Chain A
Amino acid sequence: MADTTASTRDLGGIHDDYMALTRQKRLYSLVLLIIFVALMVAGFSVAGGRNAGSFWGGLDNFFDYPSELVIEASGKLSEFPAHFVTFFPALVETVNIAAAATLLGALAAIFLSLLSTRGMARFPALIPVFRRLMDISRAIPEIVVALVLIFILGGGPVPAMIAIAIHTAGALGKLFSEVNENADLKPLDGLTSVGATWGQKMALGIIPQVAPNWLSYALLRFEINVRASAILGFVGAGGLGYELKNAISWGQGRYDEAAAIFLLLFITIVVIDQTSSHYRDRLTHGAKSERRS
C-alpha cells in the first residue's frame, strides 16, 4: 500500500521533471532560433551595406540583364550555330581541363589514400604526414594556385589544370581513404603469405574491392571540376570562362555571343551531370547488390 502511494508520488515527480525539461528544451530552441534569425538579418544588412547596389533596388533589376540578353539574342538566332562552332574549341578545352585534372588528381589520391589508411600503408609511421598533406591540398582554393601559376607559367589551361588537380587530390584522397577503411583486409593476408610486394597487394587485394566506389566519387568530382574549370577560365585560365569574360565585357550589341556561351555552358553541365549521375547510380547499386550477396 505504502509502496503504491510512493510510486504515484514518484510518477508525479517524473511528470513534473519531464515537463520542466521540455519547457527548458523549448526555451533553448527558441533562444537558438532568435540568435540564428538575428545573425541572418544582421549578416544580410552588413553585406548589403558593403555592396555597391542595394538589395531591393537589385531585385527590381534582377531580370533586366537576362531579358536584355534573351531579347537581343533571339533577334540573332540564325547566328547561333556559327557561334557554337566558334566556341566549341573553348568548350573542349574547359572539359579537357576538368578531365585531365580529375584524372591526375585521382591518381594522386589513390596513392595518398592507400598510404594514409591503417592496415594498408606502406610506411605506417608516415600516415599522419600523408593525412596532413591531403588536408592542406584540400584547403587550398583552386583560384589561389591558379593565379600564382598564371604569374609563373603565363595564362592558359595548364595552371587551371594543376590547380584543380591539387584540390582534387586532397578531396578525393579523403573520400578514397574512407572507402578503404571499409575494405576487407583478409585478401592482403593471403597475398602477404605468398610473398606479394606492396604494389601487388594493393593492385590485387584492395583495388578490386574499392574500385566501384572510387570511380563513383571520381565521377562526382568530375562534375564539380567542370564548373571549377569554367570559373577559373573567368579569372584568366583559358577555356569557355575566358571567352565568356570577353563576350560580356563587350556589352550591348554582342549579347548574342554571351548568350551562346551561356547556353553551351548550361548544356555541357546538364549533360555531364546527367551522364555521370546515371553511371554513378549503376556503380553504387551494383556495388550494393554485390555486398548483399
Chain B
Amino acid sequence: MTMLDTADLKGSADRVMSRKRIVSFALPALVLAYLTYVFFAFGVPDLIAKASGANARTLIADTYSHKVHVTRDNRNGAVRVAIEGENKGTYPDGEGPAWVSLDDETVIDLGDGHIITYLPENNGVTYNVPGYGLMTFEVSRSQGVIQNYPTDDTPDWINASKNRVAVTTEAGRLSITRNRTEVFRYFVGWELFFFTLDSPYHGMGAGEVIRRAFGGEASAIAHDFWSNKMWRHGDVAWAIFETILMAFLGTMGGAIVALPLAFLAARNFAPLPAIRVATRRLFDFIRGVDALIWTIILSRAFGLGPLTGALAILITDTGTFGKLFSEALENVDKKQIEGVQSTGAKPIQRYRFGVIPQITPVLISQILYFLESNTRSATVIGAITGGGIGLLLTQAIITQKDWEEVSYYIMLIIIMVIFMDWLSGLLRRKLINGNEGGQ
C-alpha cells in the first residue's frame, strides 16, 4: 500500500518536474521564435540597409553645435553672415563676427591656418588648406566652376563636378555653385540662446547683464530674452503651460464626471441592477473607443487646439476613472456607514461621512497618478490636435534642420514629466497622510 503510494508520488513528482523542465525551455524558445518572426515581419534587415547614417550624424552634431554661414550671392556679389543660415540669425549688413573681415575681399579665418577668401573679381574664391596648398576657384556663367588644385588628383574630401564643388575639412565646409558660394563654420554650443543679434545685450557677459538689470533695464532684458526670435522662449513656456493645462483639465474633469457615475456602477450603491450594467458597459465602451478615436472625433467638432486635447483626455479618463472608482466603492467597509446611520444621519450625510472619507485616499492617489501620466499623453495628443509642446516638437522635427531646438524641447519635456511625477508624489504623500491623520 505505502509502496504503491510512494511509487505514485514519485511518478507524479517526475511528471511535474518534466513538465516544468519543458516549460522552462519552451517559454524562452517561444519568445525567441516570436521575436525572430517580428524581426522579419517588420523588415529589420531592409531597414538597417536603408537607415540613414548621414541623418543620424546631422542630428547628433546639431544637438550640441551650431554653424555660421558666410554666403555670397554670385549674381550680385552681396555677402551675408547668418547663424544657421536663418533670417532670424543674420548679422546686419557689413557686420560679422571677428573671424570674418568684410571689405572688398571677404577673408574668412576658419582657424588652424584655414583661410578662405572671396575675391571681388569673377566671383573668385581661394582656400588655403595647411599641408595641402592653395585652391583657387572662379565661377563663370558659361563654364561653371573653374577649379585649380595644387595636386593633380583631388583628395576624397573634395567633391567636385563641373557645376559644383564641396570641400569638407575639419575646420569647416566650403560649397560653390553657379549661384552662390557658401562657407560653414561649426561651433560647439547653442548660439543666440539668450539674446538674438538685434538685441543690445547680445555678446554681453552675464555679469554685465545682471549689473544692467539692477540698473533699471530689467524689463528690457526680460523682454529681449522672452521674445528671442530664434528660440522663442515665451512661446515655448506657453506651450509647456498649455500641455500641463490639458493634462490638468482632462484629469480633474474626468474625475468629476466619473465620480457620480461610479456610484451608479458600484454593486453596493446602484439603485437598479440594470442601471449598474448599463453604466459599466458605458465605461467599457468609452475605454474601448480609445483616446486616438476620441481625439479625431473631437477635433472635427471643436477644431484644433488645447481645449480639444483636454476634452479627449477628459472623455478617455472618464471611462478609466469610472471603472477604478466603482471598484473602490465596492470595497467600502459597511460598518462605517452603519455607524453614521445609527446616529440618525440622512442618506446624503451617510455618503458624506460614511463613504467619501473611505474612498478619498484611493481617489486622490489615482487622480494624481493619472495627472502625471496624462502629462505624457497630452504631449502626444497635442501633436495630433495642435496644442502645447507636442505641436512645437512635431513642427521642429518636420523642418528636419532645427535639431538643436528638437533636443531643447525633448529636454524640456523630460524635465516637465519628471517635475509632474515629483509633484504628484509629493501631493500624494501630503494629502493622503493628512487625511489619515484627520480621520
Chain A residues packing against B (C-beta within 8 Å): 25, 36, 39-40, 43-44, 46-48, 50-55, 57-59, 61-62, 64-66, 93, 96, 99-100, 103-104, 135-136, 139-144, 147-148, 151-154, 156-158, 161, 227, 230-231, 234-235, 241, 244, 248, 262, 265-266, 269-270, 273
- The contact size tier of chain B is 35 or more
B253 contacts the other chain (Cβ, under 8 Å)? yes
Among B273-297, those with CB < 8 Å from A are 284, 287-293, 296-297
Query: Is B303 within 8 A of A141, CB to CB?
Result: no
> A96 with B42: in contact, given A51-B306, A51-B307 (CB under 8 Å)?
yes
> A266 with B414: in contact, given A47-B245, A52-B304, A154-B52 (CB under 8 Å)?
no
Find B34's partner among A103, A156, A234 (CB 8 Å cutoff).
A103
Determine the chain A residues whose CB is within 8 A of the CB of B51 once the complex forms: 152-154
B56 contacts the other chain (Cβ, under 8 Å)? yes
Find B288's partner among A40, A231, A266 (CB 8 Å cutoff).
A266
Interface of B is mostly: helix
Query: Is B421 within 8 A of A139, CB to CB?
Result: yes
Closest Cβ neighbor of A39 among chain B residues? B248
- 22 interchain pairs, CB-CB under 8 A: A36-B252, A39-B248, A44-B249, A47-B307, A51-B302, A53-B302, A55-B307, A58-B301, A65-B297, A65-B301, A96-B38, A100-B35, A103-B34, A104-B35, A139-B418, A141-B380, A143-B383, A144-B410, A151-B59, A156-B43, A158-B42, A266-B288
Closest Cβ neighbor of B241 among chain A residues? A46
Determine the chain B residues whose CB is within 8 A of the CB of A93 once the complex forms: 41-42
Query: Is A156 within 8 A of B47, CB to CB?
Result: yes
> A141 with B394: in contact, given A65-B297, A153-B47 (CB under 8 Å)?
no
B298 shortest CB reach to chain A, Å: 8
**CA–CA, A39 to B251, complex, Å?**
13
**CA–CA, A50 to B304, complex, Å?**
9
Query: Is B284 within 8 A of A270, CB to CB?
Result: yes
Closest Cβ neighbor of A258 among chain B residues? B296
B241 shortest CB reach to chain A, Å: 9
**CA–CA, A131 to B268, complex, Å?**
42
**CA–CA, A19 to B139, complex, Å?**
92
Find A143's partner among B44, B56, B379 (CB 8 Å cutoff).
B379
Interface centre among A47, A62, A231, A262 (most CB of B within 10 A): A47
Closest Cβ neighbor of B387 among chain A residues? A50
B128 contacts the other chain (Cβ, under 8 Å)? no
Among B228-249, those with CB < 8 Å from A are 242, 245-246, 248-249
A249 shortest CB reach to chain B, Å: 11
B425 shortest CB reach to chain A, Å: 11
Determine the chain B residues whose CB is within 8 A of the CB of A158 once the complex forms: 42-44, 47
Among B14-43, those with CB < 8 Å from A are 31, 34-35, 38, 41-43
Determine the chain B residues whose CB is within 8 A of the CB of A227 once the complex forms: 290-292
Interface centre among B52, B302, B390 (most CB of A within 10 A): B302
Find B306's partner among A50, A143, A153, A231 (CB 8 Å cutoff).
A50
B191 shortest CB reach to chain A, Å: 22
B406 shortest CB reach to chain A, Å: 7
A71 shortest CB reach to chain B, Å: 15
> A144 with B413: in contact, given A46-B245, A50-B307, A161-B42 (CB under 8 Å)?
yes
Interface centre among A66, A148, A157 (most CB of B within 10 A): A148
Determine the chain A residues whose CB is within 8 A of the CB of B43 once the complex forms: 156, 158
Determine the chain A residues whose CB is within 8 A of the CB of B383 once the complex forms: 143, 235
B346 contacts the other chain (Cβ, under 8 Å)? no
B342 contacts the other chain (Cβ, under 8 Å)? no
Determine the chain B residues whose CB is within 8 A of the CB of A135 once the complex forms: 418, 421
Query: Is A139 within 8 A of B414, CB to CB?
Result: yes
**CA–CA, A227 to B300, complex, Å?**
21
> A58 with B42: in contact, given A136-B414, A231-B292, A273-B287 (CB under 8 Å)?
no
B260 shortest CB reach to chain A, Å: 16
Query: Is A58 within 8 A of B303, CB to CB?
Result: yes
B384 contacts the other chain (Cβ, under 8 Å)? yes
Determine the chain A residues whose CB is within 8 A of the CB of B438 once the complex forms: 25
Query: Is A103 within 8 A of B31, CB to CB?
Result: yes
Query: Is A43 within 8 A of B35, CB to CB?
Result: no
**CA–CA, A262 to B245, complex, Å?**
28
Query: Is B303 within 8 A of A148, CB to CB?
Result: no
Query: Is B288 within 8 A of A47, CB to CB?
Result: no
Determine the chain B residues whose CB is within 8 A of the CB of A52 once the complex forms: 302-305, 386
Query: Is A231 within 8 A of B291, CB to CB?
Result: yes
Query: Is B302 within 8 A of A55, CB to CB?
Result: yes
B55 contacts the other chain (Cβ, under 8 Å)? yes
Query: Is B55 within 8 A of A61, CB to CB?
Result: no
Determine the chain B residues whose CB is within 8 A of the CB of A53 once the complex forms: 301-303, 305, 308
B417 contacts the other chain (Cβ, under 8 Å)? yes
Among B371-430, those with CB < 8 Å from A are 376, 379-380, 383-384, 386-387, 390, 393-394, 397, 400, 406, 410, 413-414, 417-418, 421
Find A44's partner among B50, B55, B291, B310 (CB 8 Å cutoff).
B310
Query: Is B290 within 8 A of A269, CB to CB?
Result: yes
Determine the chain B residues whose CB is within 8 A of the CB of A25 once the complex forms: 438
Query: Is A43 within 8 A of B245, CB to CB?
Result: yes
**CA–CA, A208 to B55, complex, Å?**
45
Closest Cβ neighbor of B421 among chain A residues? A139
Closest Cβ neighbor of B37 among chain A residues? A96
Query: Is A144 within 8 A of B393, CB to CB?
Result: yes
Query: Is A58 within 8 A of B290, CB to CB?
Result: no
Determine the chain A residues whose CB is within 8 A of the CB of B303 once the complex forms: 51-53, 58
Query: Is A61 within 8 A of B301, CB to CB?
Result: yes
**CA–CA, A100 to B31, complex, Å?**
9
Determine the chain A residues whose CB is within 8 A of the CB of B41 once the complex forms: 93, 96
Find A152's partner among B55, B292, B300 (CB 8 Å cutoff).
B55
B210 shortest CB reach to chain A, Å: 32
**CA–CA, A44 to B308, complex, Å?**
11
Query: Is A139 within 8 A of B417, CB to CB?
Result: yes
Query: Is A152 within 8 A of B59, CB to CB?
Result: yes
Closest Cβ neighbor of B52 among chain A residues? A152
Query: Is A148 within 8 A of B376, CB to CB?
Result: no
Determine the chain B residues whose CB is within 8 A of the CB of A103 once the complex forms: 31, 34-35
B150 shortest CB reach to chain A, Å: 38
Other 11 A-B pairs with CB < 8 A, given A144-B393, A152-B56: A39-B248, A52-B386, A58-B303, A103-B34, A139-B376, A140-B410, A141-B380, A153-B52, A235-B384, A244-B296, A273-B284
Closest Cβ neighbor of A157 among chain B residues? B42
Query: Is B380 within 8 A of A154, CB to CB?
Result: no
Among B31-79, those with CB < 8 Å from A are 31, 34-35, 38, 41-44, 47, 50-52, 55-56, 59
